[in-house]
Amino acid sequence: MSELNSIALKILSDGKGILAADESTATMTKRLDSVKIPSTPENRLNFRETLFSSSSMAECIGGVILYDETIKQQSSKGKTIPELIISSKSIPGIKVDTGAKQLAGSTEEKITEGLDGLRERLKEYYKLGARFTKWRGVYNISRDYPSKLSIYSNAHALARYAAIVQEINMVPIVEPEVLMSGDHSAEDCYNKTSEVIEKCFEELILHKIDLRGVILKPNMILAGTDSKNKIEGEDVAKLTVKCLKKSVPSEVPGIAFLSGGQTEIESTENLNLINKYNDTKFIMSYSYGRALQQSALKKWSKNIKDIDSTQKVFNHRAKMNTLAAQGKWSRDLEN
């Protein structure tokens, strides 16, 4: 087993998943504004440290994706944030793309930037304790999109990113996100997501990526948020598993879904159903941001000094998703 493969498996084995705490300062400010808490470096750190020092970190969270600000911060106990995460047997990771910008040649679509200077940044993050990374490509979906240009450009950028990451001995999370917004059907989502993922792996193979040391972070197969033809969870699960069986090479150890705007309960329920139908060798787990944090954030905002109550809410959500990653969740457990 390669070192990269063992890191990927450690992050996702035994029902463990990933806490995506890599919100940019702008995104985190929106989240804190929504609960009427000032977005200062201290408050951003306070909330994140509350989660990172919870008991569910050791039981449920195999990896934490950090943002540049957070990976360089000190916890209130004097440890660095990566040291705090490592102390609960979880693995620190880091978001390394610099965001999605307008794609030249297709004004309605985006290309993710951040390759310039990436090797040097990765060396610094490695010294700080990070052992895996994340890069997100985003794709609009409609009658005309995603275009071939968007699919090819983002796949190429994801592959170049992954090659540099593996060169520094870190595991790349490859995140091609076909967005939920739109009135498209689940069938459209299935077709476009399959095309996007297949192109990503074509480029990853071309760039000589060790697929055993990669984690895929895709969207689930869902109808668009404005679609009149919503589908039930069972169909979400069946289509998602079918798409991944068709599109993902068998060497990939695991898949960690993004929640993509689903509610906390929806994302847990759909992950559970996916694992009921998972007849592949892939570990299928979670890499959730808002779907792990939203209830905890609301609780924390009522009294930011009441660490225990916030951790209790977060521990419950993490536990529910870890059960779902093993197909053992049920709605009765939510109460």
Question: CB–CB of 118/160 below 8 Å?
Answer: no
**pLDDT tens digits along 83-99:** 999 999 999 999 999 99
Answer yes or no: is 66 within a domain: yes
Q: What is the pTM of this model?
A: 0.97
Instruction: Report the alpha-carbon distance of residue 103 to residue 120 in Å, rounded.
Output: 25
Does any domain span residue 334?
no
Residue 256 domain boundaries: 3-325
Rg (CA), the chain: 19
Catalytic, 299? Answer no
pLDDT tens for residues 143-180? Answer: 899 999 999 999 999 999 999 999 999 999 999 999 99
The question of whether 281 is a catalytic residue gets the answer no
Is 171 part of a structural domain of the chain? Answer: yes
* DSSP H/E element including 107: strand 106-112
Residue 42 identity (one-letter amino acid) = E
Report the CATH number that the domain containing residue 138 is assigned in CATH: 3.20.20.70
8 Å CB contact between 218 and 193: yes
Average pLDDT, the chain: 97
Among 243, 314, 316, 248, CA closest to 274: 243
Instruction: Evaluate if residue 233 carries a pLDDT over 90.
Output: no
| pLDDT tens, position by position, 166-224 | 999 999 999 999 999 999 999 999 999 999 999 999 999 999 999 999 999 999 999 99
Helix (H) or strand (E) holding 173: strand 171-178
Identify the residue whose tokens are 């994340």: 134
Within-domain flag for 109: yes
- The answer for 190, left when phi > 0, alpha when psi is -120 to 50, beta otherwise, is alpha
What is the pLDDT at residue 335? Answer: 83
pLDDT of residue 164: 98
* Three-class SS state of 264: helix
Q: Which of 192, 199, 217, 299 is catalytic?
A: 217
Over residues 1-12, the pLDDT tens digits come to 799 999 999 999
Please report the pLDDT score of residue 59 as a whole number.
Answer: 96
Asked whether 302 and 36 are in contact (CB, 8 A), the reply is no
Tell me, yes or no, whether 331 lies in a domain. no
pLDDT at 41: 93
pLDDT digit string (tens) for 22-79?
999 999 999 999 999 999 999 999 999 999 999 999 999 999 999 999 999 999 989 9
HSE of 71, CA atoms in CB hemisphere, 13 A: 27
Strand partners, 134: 95, 173
Instruction: Look at residues 8, 13, 2, 18 and name the one whose alpha carbon lies nearest to residue 215.
Output: 8
Residue 332 inside a domain? The answer is no
* Over residues 258-272, mean pLDDT: 96
Q: Is the pLDDT of residue 282 over 80?
A: yes
* Annotated catalytic residue, options 49, 109, 175, 269: 175
Token digits for 301?
């905002």
Q: Please report whether residue 333 resides in a domain.
A: no
Number of domains in the chain: 1
Residue 274 has pLDDT above 80, yes or no: yes
